[in-house]
């Protein structure tokens, strides 16, 4: 969820739950409009087709949110993807409970069942009101037959989510069943690995048929499974990953007495997005590149100390990555986590470098496992 969140944006809050949409959805919007134009329909029909998919995803996520509330799992946010959604909970305890085999299996069935019944309900209504429409005529998903598409998008979304591929619902069910005998961590790894294989097979099938929708679904499944695979480093408190394993050691700092123009000039020569602010040898704050730009545009040149945030949490090199991130996420989150050794800053963690480092760590672990003798 951490790495996926970096490619999403908030569209508001509903009953205290933040609703985010992934940029995959916007990519799919462009593809839907292009597909509609190429197939001889107007771009507006492509937009409506995309809206129907968005509605189908929204319906299933509303049902899953209700189910989570039923089991006493307080939601923090829902991330909407073209194949469904990912839920984030308010407490580590709720996250762990949702990942247990029994609860995970039940929550995994809610989405497909909701889309199945909603699709059948829409089909029954359409056949009652307009019996001349043939719902079984192909193609099922086309901007020229939007009523038919309403039914089949829900039915296909239900079918796709029964595949045993993380992060689909079927992947959650598979993970829960596998975890009964092998533990949650190994179950998550197995579901993520199988998800990547299924994503590749779907994309290959789409190229052979050819079918644009299968290619896109395969791509979404593969990328989602890869992200889920990277996130397994956070799956267990017993995981040995320390802050020193993922911290960025080659970083730049800014002085509290630097002017904003000086700070912006220095930020041009680095890919770093957030900077620790020091006064002498002491860490006194943090400031983002975007914050510097906005302050310059709004108020003109000033000093870094006037725009930096003084509220941040620090960690030690030997602190547990899992426990540190859970401590941070239980608050308001953080753009920057300085890693201190005594009073000296020896590294930093940012959302951008964390996702990259986690992926590399996971790849290194797989290589080491392959090298071990049987």
Residue 50's pLDDT is what? 92
* Spatial separation of the C-alpha atoms in residues 148 and 157, rounded to whole Å: 14
Least confident of 132-146, 189-203, 227-241, 297-311: 227-241
Question: Does the structure show a pLDDT above 80 at 235?
Answer: no
Residue 99 — φ and ψ, nearest 5°?
A: -90, -5
Q: Of 301, 302, 309, nearest to 276 (Cα)?
A: 309
Which CATH number is 243-359 given? Answer: 3.10.580.10
Residue with tokens 């859970």: 326
Q: List, in sequence order, the alpha helices (H) in 87-183.
A: 92-98, 101-129, 146-160, 169-182
Residue with tokens 């695979």: 229
- Mean pLDDT, the chain, rounded, equals 81
For the stretch 301-342, pLDDT in tens is 999 999 998 877 788 888 877 777 766 654 445 578 889 888
Summarize the confidence of residues 336-360 as an average pLDDT.
Answer: 79
Residue 326's pLDDT is what? 64
Question: Does the structure show a pLDDT above 90 at 121?
Answer: yes
Q: What percent of the chain has pLDDT over 90?
A: 24
Most confident of 41-55, 84-98, 312-326, 327-341: 41-55
Question: Does the structure show a pLDDT above 70 at 373?
Answer: no
**Residue 43, both tokens:** 């771009």
Residue 243's pLDDT is what? 84
C-alpha torsion 15→2→322→284, nearest 10: -90
Question: Does the structure show a pLDDT above 70 at 236?
Answer: no
Q: Is 274 helix (H, G, I), strand (E, B) or coil?
A: strand
Question: Does the structure show a pLDDT above 90 at 269?
Answer: no
Question: Does the structure show a pLDDT above 70 at 363?
Answer: no
Asked if the peptide bond before residue 167 counts as cis, ω within 30 degrees of 0, the response is yes
For the stretch 137-188, pLDDT in tens is 888 888 888 999 999 999 999 999 998 887 788 887 887 677 666 666 666 6
Give the domain ranges of the chain: 2-234, 243-359
């Amino acid at each position: 969820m951490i790495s996926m969140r970096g490619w999403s944006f908030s569209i508001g809050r509903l009953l205290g739950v933040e609703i985010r949409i992934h940029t995959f959805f916007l990519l799919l919007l462009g593809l839907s409009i292009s597909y509609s134009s190429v197939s001889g329909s107007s771009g507006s029909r492509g937009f409506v087709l995309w809206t129907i998919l968005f509605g189908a995803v929204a319906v299933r996520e509303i049902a899953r949110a209700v189910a989570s509330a039923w089991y006493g799992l307080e939601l923090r946010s829902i991330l909407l993807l073209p194949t469904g959604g990912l839920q984030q909970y308010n407490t580590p305890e709720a996250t762990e409970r949702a990942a247990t085999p029994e609860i995970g299996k039940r929550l995994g069935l809610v989405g497909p069942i909701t889309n199945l019944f909603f699709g059948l309900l829409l089909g029954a209504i359409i056949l009652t009101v307009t019996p001349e429409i043939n719902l079984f005529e192909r193609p099922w998903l086309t901007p020229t037959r939007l009523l038919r598409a309403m039914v089949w998008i829900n039915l296909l979304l239900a079918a796709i989510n029964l595949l045993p591929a993380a992060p689909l619902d079927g992947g959650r069910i598979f993970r829960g069943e596998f975890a009964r005998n092998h533990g949650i961590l190994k179950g998550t790894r197995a579901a993520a690995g199988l998800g990547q294989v299924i994503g590749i097979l779907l994309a290959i099938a789409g190229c052979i048929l050819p079918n644009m929708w299968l290619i896109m679904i395969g791509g979404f499944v593969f990328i989602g499974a890869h992200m889920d695979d990277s996130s397994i480093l956070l799956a267990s408190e017993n995981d040995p990953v320390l802050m020193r394993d993922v911290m960025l050691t080659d970083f730049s700092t800014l002085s509290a007495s630097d002017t904003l123009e000086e700070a912006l000039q220095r930020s041009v020569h680095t890919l770093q997005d957030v900077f620790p602010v020091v006064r002498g040898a002491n860490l006194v704050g943090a400031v983002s590149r975007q914050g510097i730009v906005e302050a310059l545009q709004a108020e003109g040149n000033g000093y870094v100390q006037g725009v930096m945030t003084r509220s941040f949490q620090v960690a030690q090199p030997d602190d547990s990555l899992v426990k540190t991130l859970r401590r941070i996420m239980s608050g308001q989150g953080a753009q920057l986590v300085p890693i201190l050794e005594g009073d000296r800053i020896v590294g930093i963690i940012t959302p951008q470098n964390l996702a990259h480092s986690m992926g590399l760590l996971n790849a290194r672990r797989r290589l080491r496992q392959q090298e071990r003798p049987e």
